[in-house]
Amino acid sequence: MTQTVATKTPQATEAVRLRLDPHPSHTTVLDGGWWPRSTDVVAELPGLTAALAGLRGDVTHVLVNGDEWDLPHPRRAGTGGRAVRLGWFTSQPAGLITIMTDYGDDRFDLLVIPPDASPKSADDALTAAADPADKRHTPELLADIAHN
């Protein structure tokens, strides 16, 4: 069973499209999936971090593949009254965002579904990413989105 998080923030009028494994474990490949509405990470992060708030501590760092997000690439982004550090890495796997928290060095590894994915493809990918039995990594899940 997966958990869909529908959080609204003052910056966003629409719910965050996020699905998480309801029983997080350090043995799964992914903790879930996120379907942002754009490739502007600074605009998208407040809703995501608000949805994750309190689940594993406060978000402190966000690691992304810089090739997948719009310029500029700032070092910090404001999220819900606080700033988080952004790490832009071309070595970060495509379609992966890593959210680091202050709770015992815990983190979320989330599949990032392209904003232009069809609702059916996105729903299938969100479900797979949040399924602890699904051992596929982001490149394989992205390939399935591209072929739907």
Residue 66 tokens, joined: 């810089």
Residue position matching structure tokens 């500029």: 72
Which pLDDT tens digit goes with each residue over 8-67?
Answer: 444 445 799 999 998 877 778 999 999 999 999 999 999 999 999 888 888 999 999 999
What is the residue-wise DSSP string for 96-127? EEEEEESSTT-EEEEEE--TTS-HHHHHHHHH
Domain extent for 127: 3-146
Which pLDDT tens digit goes with each residue over 97-148?
Answer: 999 998 877 899 999 999 999 999 999 999 999 999 999 999 999 998 866 5
How many domains does the chain contain in total? 1
Contact (Cβ atoms closer than 8 angstroms) between residue 128 and residue 138: no
- Taking the model in full, what pTM does it have? 0.87
